[in-house]
């Protein structure tokens, strides 16, 4: 999952949770989900960053689905060892 700004600049590839995940096999019409942990910030907070879009690439795929970012700004922690914003496993 990549967060992207609207005026170019570097993307922020979200870290993955250390939570264990199992194998999931989906059949036609089946679905699954995942959750995000978001370290939200207030507008104009020092160190805040608001992406314009989020690109989600499913496991074993090479094409991303790009969506408009629906939430507010985040605490920008792209270099953090244990960031507050990360992706949890599917399922």
Beta-carbon contacts of residue 77 (< 8 Å; ≥ 6 apart): 39, 83, 84, 85
Give pTM, 2 decimals: 0.82
Question: What span, in angstroms and rounded, lies between the C-alpha atoms of 25 and 46?
Answer: 43
How far, CA to CA in Å, does 69 sit from each of 45, 56, 73? Answer: 18, 11, 10
- pLDDT tens for each residue of 26-59: 899 998 888 999 999 998 898 899 999 999 998 7
Beta-carbon contacts of residue 37 (< 8 Å; ≥ 6 apart): 17, 84, 85, 86, 88
- pLDDT tens for each residue of 56-84: 998 788 999 999 999 999 998 888 888 99
């Amino acid at each position: 999952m990549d967060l992207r700004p609207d005026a170019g600049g570097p993307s922020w590839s979200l870290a993955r949770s250390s939570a264990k995940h199992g194998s999931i096999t989906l059949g036609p019409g089946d679905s699954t989900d995942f959750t995000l942990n978001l370290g939200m910030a207030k507008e104009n907070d020092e160190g805040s960053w608001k992406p314009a879009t989020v690109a989600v690439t499913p496991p074993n795929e090479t094409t991303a689905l790009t969506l408009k970012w629906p939430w507010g700004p985040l605490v920008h922690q792209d270099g953090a060892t244990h960031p507050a914003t990360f992706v949890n496993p599917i399922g």
